[in-house]
Chain A
Amino acid sequence: MRRLIVIRLAAAALLAASATAALAATADDFKAALAKAEAASKAAAALKNQWTTTADALKAAQTAAAAGKFDEAVKDAQRAEALANASIAQAKEQAATWQQAVIH
Chain B
Amino acid sequence: MTAKHRTAAINGTVFFAIAVAAIGAQAARAANTVDPQADFKAFRAYFTKRFPKVPLSDFVNGPYSMDAGLRKQWIEIDAFPPYQFALDKGKQMFETPFPNGKTYADCFANKGIGIRQNYPLFDTKSGEVITLDVALNQCRQQNGQPPLDYTKDDMAALTAYMAYTSRGKPFDIKIPDDPRARAAYQKGEEYFFSRRGQLNFSCASCHVQSAGQHIRTEVLAPALGLVAALPIYRSEWGGMGTTSRRLTSCNSQVRAVPLKPEDEQYRDVEYYLSYMSNGLPISGPGARP
Contact = CB atoms under 8 A, between A and B. Distances in A.
Interface string A61-104: 00000000000000000000001001100110011001101111
A97 B105 CA distance: 44
B194 to A, nearest CB: 4
A79 to B, nearest CB: 12
Given A53-B198, A90-B200, A94-B194, A102 B256 contact: no
A98 B193 contact: yes
Contacts of B195: 90, 94
A43 B39 CA distance: 33
A17 B238 CA distance: 57
B198 A51 contact: yes
A18 interface: no
A15 to B, nearest CB: 42
A103 B256 contact: no
Interface residues of B, number: 22
Contacts of B124: none
Contacts of B196: 49, 90-91, 94
B25 interface: no
Interface string B186-223: 00011001111110101010001000000000000000
A101 B204 contact: yes
Interface in B33-59: 39, 42-43, 46
B259 interface: yes
Given A90-B200, A101-B204, A104-B42, A55 B257 contact: yes
B198 A83 contact: yes
A103 B43 contact: yes
A5 to B, nearest CB: 54
B13 interface: no
Q: Chain A contact residues (Cβ within 8 angstroms of B): what range?
A: 20 to 34
Nearest to A99: B193
B47 to A, nearest CB: 9
Contact of B197 (A51, A95, A101, A104): A51
B193 A52 contact: no
B256 A52 contact: yes
A101 B256 contact: no
Contacts of A48: 259, 265
Interface in A13-30: none
Contacts of A99: 190, 193
B256 A49 contact: yes
B235 interface: no
Given A102-B189, A103-B42, A52 B197 contact: yes
B111 interface: no
A51 B257 contact: yes
Nearest to A104: B42
A103 B257 contact: no
A45 B257 CA distance: 9
B275 to A, nearest CB: 14
B102 interface: no
Contacts of A52: 197-198, 252, 255-257
Contacts of A87: 198
B165 to A, nearest CB: 32
Nearest to A56: B255
Nearest to B191: A98
B202 A50 contact: no
A49 B208 CA distance: 22
B204 A50 contact: no
A50 B43 contact: no
Given A48-B265, A51-B198, A101-B193, 4 more contacts: A52-B198, A86-B198, A98-B202, A99-B190
